[in-house]
Amino acid sequence: MDIKVLGPLTAEACGQSIVPTAAKPRQILSLLAVHANHVLPVPTLMEEIWGHALPRSALTTLQTYILQLRRKLVAAYGVSSAEISRDILVTRHGGYLLQIQPGAVDVHEYDRLAAAGREAFDHGDDESASLYLSQALGLWQGPALVDVRTGPILEIELARLEESRLSTLERRIEAELRMGKDAILLAELSELTARHPLHEGLHAQRMVALYRSGRPWQALEVFQHLRSRLIDELGLEPSPRVKRLQQAVLCGDPALEYDGTHRRRVLDLFAA
């Protein structure tokens, strides 16, 4: 089985799509896939579909959706319904379990690669960190479950994934800054700061990349744009670390220069 949720939902078994056309069974499949090999309690599945306004027929309707998914699996695998119920889409402990091989769902592979990248980064192995984190980010084909209606349970997971994606991206850029790839990163950082106009970490990375590329005046412009947006939209000044970074650019602080030895994050260099 091969399931992708980091973008449009796709799910294939033996080369045949098992994605339902109806919205609510798609939600059920998505939730089961994200939590594959873990039992999802019936109340959790019902909350995803109906929130707290459960219809009287909720349990029966949920069972119907599960039956529809099992029929898709029967058709794909060419085995009996009893085998599917025993080995793949299993009823267990007051819930349901999608039992599949490790790595069959892209989000699990993403989490594995992102964790490996974080570990390499924390140990100062920037080359491996960049490789792992780039592979993790390469699994994304757009916003997660972009074509699936989501309820409260999936919304929590999507928020986690989007936060993780941004953190993974920031860490990958940080590793590559520590490798001296400043000029290569400029175009990407320009796009990212435009898409995330209030994100201090990305702006700080762009400031450092510009400074090291011989463009300190543009680094200062980046700070001013960030400060203006923060004040206009949130009524906040940039954090003390970002302000210290601005002062470092103004003063030509040697800490900004690439020397191949820095193992701290850009903003951590200017922590109090």
Question: pLDDT per residue over 71-85, tens digit each?
Answer: 999 999 999 999 999
pTM score, whole prediction: 0.89
* Number of Cβ atoms within 10 Å of the Cβ of 207: 28
Q: What is the pLDDT of residue 199?
A: 95
Torsion of the alpha carbons at 109, 114, 117 and 119, rounded to the nearest 10: -110
Q: What is the pLDDT of residue 258?
A: 73
Q: How many CA atoms lie within 13 A of 91 on its CB side?
A: 11
Which has more pLDDT, 267 or 214?
214
Q: What is the pLDDT of residue 36?
A: 94
CA distances from 154 to 28, 97, 159, 174, 176 (A): 10, 16, 9, 30, 33
**Residue-wise pLDDT tens digits, 117-135:** 999 999 989 999 999 999 9
For residue 50, pLDDT beyond 70? yes
**Residue-wise pLDDT tens digits, 29-45:** 999 999 999 999 999 99
**How far is it, in rounded angstroms, from Cα 82 to Cα 60?**
19
- pLDDT confidence tier of residue 95, bands split at 50, 70 and 90: very high
* Number of Cβ atoms within 10 Å of the Cβ of 213: 15
Average the pLDDT over each of 3-7, 29-33, 91-95, 227-231 and give the range with the smallest value. 91-95
For residue 5, pLDDT beyond 60? yes
For residue 255, pLDDT beyond 90? no
Q: In sequence order, what are the beta bridge partners of 199?
A: none
- Over pLDDT 90: what percentage of the chain? 88
| Contact between 54 and 110 (Cβ < 8 Å) | no
Using DSSP, state whether 98 is helix, strand or coil.
strand
Name the DSSP class of 6: S
Name the DSSP class of 105: B
Q: What is the pLDDT of residue 52?
A: 87
CA distances from 197 to 114, 193, 202 (A): 24, 5, 9
The predicted model gives 15-40 an average pLDDT of 95
